[in-house]
């Protein structure tokens, strides 16, 4: 009886699992589209010659994924140094570069296939 219950629980875990892919678009230019693809097991950097986001969404939908949501974030990069002088205890800002990057994340979920018995 215990073995049947354990097998039933394991089977239900496989049936109700969701398969997600997260696409983090890093850069888009006239020539290419650069994004990170997270499929739950690994994250890989992908460069595509077609820079269209609509074409990218269509490609994932043809593979059996549905676009669930789109999120937007801002990545702020501060590069440079903030020296302080010991004599006057004043802060001085030199060589400080602020880079503002907008990032788009596309969340895809595997479409459920209903099998008839």
Please report the domains of the chain, with CATH numbers, ordered by start residue: 19-110 (3.30.1410)
Looking at residue 2, the DSSP 8-state letter turns out to be H
Cβ proximity of 64 and 41 under 8 Å: no
pLDDT band at 82 (very low <50, low <70, confident <90, very high): low
pLDDT over 60 (residue 39): yes
pLDDT of residue 101: 75
pTM of the model as a whole: 0.63
- The number of residues making up the chain comes to 117
The pLDDT, as a whole number, for residue 9 is: 55
57-60-62-63 Cα dihedral, nearest 10 degrees: 180
What number is the average pLDDT over the span 79-100?
Answer: 61
Q: Is 86 helix (H, G, I), strand (E, B) or coil?
A: coil
- Residue 114 clears pLDDT 80, i.e. is over it: no
């Amino acid at each position: 009886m215990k073995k049947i219950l354990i097998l039933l629980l394991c089977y239900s875990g496989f049936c109700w699992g969701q398969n997600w892919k997260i696409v983090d678009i890093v850069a888009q230019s006239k020539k290419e589209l650069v994004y990170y693809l997270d499929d739950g097991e690994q994250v890989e950097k992908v460069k595509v010659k077609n820079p269209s986001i609509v074409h990218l969404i269509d490609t994932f939908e043809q593979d059996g994924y549905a676009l669930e949501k789109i999120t937007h974030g801002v990545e702020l990069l501060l590069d440079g140094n903030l020296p302080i002088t010991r004599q006057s205890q004043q802060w001085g800002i030199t060589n400080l570069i602020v880079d503002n990057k907008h990032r788009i994340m596309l969340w895809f979920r595997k479409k459920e296939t209903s099998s008839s018995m």
